[in-house]
């Protein structure tokens, strides 16, 4: 093939059993399950097992994995001083996570081993320690001391407890777990591809995952939930000031933004041409989370805003199929759980590391160097000019 496919769009680069994205039908399959069935029912540990082993765990396998992950939550002694320094410099939480994840090699029992088994051990440590890293950094940024992990709690409940310094309610744990399960894997996305490229050189799991954190940090890779939520707040505020119904304000806001050539955050997707199925799952999770809460109006307003924005986009951009994407309800769920917007991306990483590690194990099994070509468009046969004559 001598043609360049920009962004490798539509190119298959690997076989996987982890997930399948059908953009035309709006379907996401994770480990054989429709995301709608898996995400609200499973614990995160069960989903990780599913991705790694290709089947659900038995009760005793589940307990073993849960206990093993719980036992690996502590950070190496050297990590906290580094996170403290990062907090002093107000680094982005994704940078703090990248720095912290790299230090996990310090607790590696056999750092030079590179068997599949050694890399599986690293995968377990990475998954277990991500919430500790993110929560510790959040506490340090707030001028507090990190909260110790609680080995009695599951992955999601422990993360929330370390973030808040208090036990989380069953509803918030369920909502977080549904979120983590929903976004754990999504075909050959950029950060997953980065992991596979790195480990295809027979590098190791930790190196691959650290590279993926770098890829996930970029705003084109799922960085829209914060702005999507800001938009709902802004429309709410305008409706309060004008006294107009929120639907009216949303329509006006969207018309102005689209006419000015702006993009509406939380809408449109490179692969999905219909409503992102993850928006469906997270919309339902938000509905359950906000039911009977004092701020239930936020959920109702977000639904109204979504409806108006969809119809305004369809009217003003009739040739494009711009539907709600995962970010719109991600914002609502994570905000409803009590997370500040700067923790949305690292919380995404806490989930996606499940997918990265599963892909890395698949790539180790494939053992094929990923090495595409670049089309040279430079000059040939240039004469050499000594430096003093240039
Ligand atoms: C996600 C996204 C980058 C995918 O873009 P894409 O499929 O590559 O689409 P393109 O960038 O080629 O845009 C195609 C057209 O749709 C328009 N469009 C795409 N998303 C839009 C949006 N959210 N709001 C308004 N217009 C949008 C573009 O302006 C363009 O219009 P034009 O042809 O008249 O110039 C894009 O939809 C977007 O920027 N969405 C908002 C950010 C967001 O929610 N990101 C999270 C994704 S999970």
Whether 269 lines ligand 1, by a CB cut-off of 6 Å, is yes
Pick the residue whose CA is nearest to atom 20 on ligand 1: 268
How far apart are alpha carbons 102 and 173 in whole angstroms? 28
Which tokens belong to 120?
A: 């599986």
53 is catalytic: no
Domain ranges of the chain: 19-221+345-366, 225-337
- Asked if residue 379 lies in contact with residue 215, where contact means CB atoms within 8 angstroms, the answer is no
Q: Look up the CATH number of domain 19-221+345-366.
A: 1.10.580.10
How far apart are alpha carbons 122 and 222 in whole angstroms? 25
Which tokens belong to 132?
A: 């500790």
Q: How far is CA 251 from CA 301, 303, 304, in A?
A: 13, 13, 10
In this predicted structure, what is the pLDDT of residue 153?
98
Same fold, 19-221+345-366 and 225-337: no
Whether 267 lines ligand 1, by a CB cut-off of 6 Å, is yes
Instruction: Please give the distance, rounded to the nearest whole angstrom, from the Cα atom of residue 271 to the centre of ligand 1.
Output: 11
In this predicted structure, what is the pLDDT of residue 36?
98
Instruction: Please give the distance, rounded to the nearest whole angstrom, from the Cα atom of residue 229 to the centre of ligand 1.
Output: 17
Strands 19-22 and 33-34: unpaired
Whether 264 lines ligand 1, by a CB cut-off of 6 Å, is yes
Which tokens belong to 243?
A: 């006294």
Instruction: Please give the distance, rounded to the nearest whole angstrom, from the Cα atom of residue 266 to the centre of ligand 1.
Output: 10
For range 57-63, the mean pLDDT: 98
Query: pLDDT tens across 224-273, in order?
Result: 678 889 999 999 999 999 999 999 999 999 999 999 999 998 899 888 88
Pick the residue whose CA is nearest to atom 40 on ligand 1: 268
Instruction: Please give the distance, rounded to the nearest whole angstrom, from the Cα atom of residue 269 to the centre of ligand 1.
Output: 7
For range 106-133, the mean pLDDT: 97
Quickly list H helices, 218-272: 225-242, 246-259
Closest Cα partner for 206 from 94, 85, 319, 119?
119
Which tokens belong to 138?
A: 């959040």
pLDDT at residue 2 greater than cutoff 80: no
Pick the residue whose CA is nearest to atom 21 on ligand 1: 263
Q: 269, 280, 308, 323: which one is catalytic?
A: 269
For range 170-189, the mean pLDDT: 97
Tell me how crowded residue 76 is: count the other CB atoms within 10 A of its CB.
15
For range 44-69, the mean pLDDT: 98
Instruction: Show the CA angle centred on residue 188, arms to residues 182 and 193, nearest 5°.
Output: 115
Q: How far is CA 290 from CA 36, 76, 276, 296, 302, in A?
A: 19, 38, 21, 5, 11
- CB burial of residue 368 (10 Å; 0-12, 13-18, 19+): exposed
Q: What is the pTM of this model?
A: 0.94
Instruction: Please give the distance, rounded to the nearest whole angstrom, from the Cα atom of residue 234 to the centre of ligand 1.
Output: 21
Which tokens belong to 57?
A: 């765990």
How far apart are alpha carbons 357 and 359 in whole angstroms? 5
In this predicted structure, what is the pLDDT of residue 184?
98
Pick the residue whose CA is nearest to atom 12 on ligand 1: 270
Q: Look up the CATH number of domain 225-337.
A: 1.10.230.10
pLDDT at residue 223 greater than cutoff 70: no
For range 97-121, the mean pLDDT: 97
pLDDT at residue 109 greater than cutoff 70: yes
308 is catalytic: no
């Amino acid at each position: 093939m001598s043609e360049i496919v920009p962004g490798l769009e539509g190119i298959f680069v690997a076989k996987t059993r982890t997930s399948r994205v059908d953009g035309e039908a709006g379907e996401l399959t994770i480990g054989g399950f429709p995301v709608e069935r898996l995400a609200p029912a499973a614990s995160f540990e069960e989903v990780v097992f599913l991705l790694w082993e290709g089947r659900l765990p038995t009760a005793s396998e589940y307990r073993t994995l849960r206990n093993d992950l719980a036992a690996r939550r502590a950070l190496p002694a050297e990590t906290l001083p580094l996170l403290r320094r990062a907090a002093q410099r107000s680094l982005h939480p994704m940078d703090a996570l990248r720095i912290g994840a790299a230090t996990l090699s310090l607790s590696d029992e056999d750092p030079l081993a590179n068997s599949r088994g050694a890399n599986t051990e690293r995968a377990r440590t990475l998954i277990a320690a991500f919430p500790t890293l993110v929560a510790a950094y959040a506490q340090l940024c707030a001028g507090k001391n990190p909260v110790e992990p609680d080995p009695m709690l599951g992955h999601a409940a422990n993360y929330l407890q370390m973030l808040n310094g208090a036990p989380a309610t069953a509803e918030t744990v369920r909502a977080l777990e549904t979120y983590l399960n929903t976004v754990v894997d999504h075909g050959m996305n950029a950060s997953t591809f980065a992991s596979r490229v790195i480990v295809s050189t027979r590098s190791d799991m930790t190196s691959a995952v650290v590279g993926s954190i770098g890829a996930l940090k970029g705003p084109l890779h799922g960085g829209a939930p914060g702005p999507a939520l800001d938009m709902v707040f802004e429309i709410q505020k305008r409706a309060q000031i004008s006294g107009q119904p929120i639907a009216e304000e949303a329509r006006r806001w969207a018309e102005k933004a689209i006419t000015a050539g702006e993009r509406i955050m939380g809408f449109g997707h490179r692969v999905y041409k219909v409503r992102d199925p993850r928006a469906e799952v997270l919309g339902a999770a938000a509905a359950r989370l906000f039911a009977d809460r004092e701020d239930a109006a936020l959920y109702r307003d977000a639904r109204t805003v979504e409806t108006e924005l969809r119809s305004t986009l369809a009217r003003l951009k009739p040739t494009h199929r711009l539907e709600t994407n995962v970010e719109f309800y991600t914002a609502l769920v994570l905000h409803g759980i009590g997370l500040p917007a700067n923790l949305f991306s690292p919380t995404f990483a806490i989930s996606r590391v499940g997918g990265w590690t599963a892909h890395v194990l698949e790539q180790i099994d494939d053992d094929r160097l990923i090495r595409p070509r670049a089309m040279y468009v430079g000059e040939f046969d240039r004469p050499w000019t000594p430096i003093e004559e240039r």
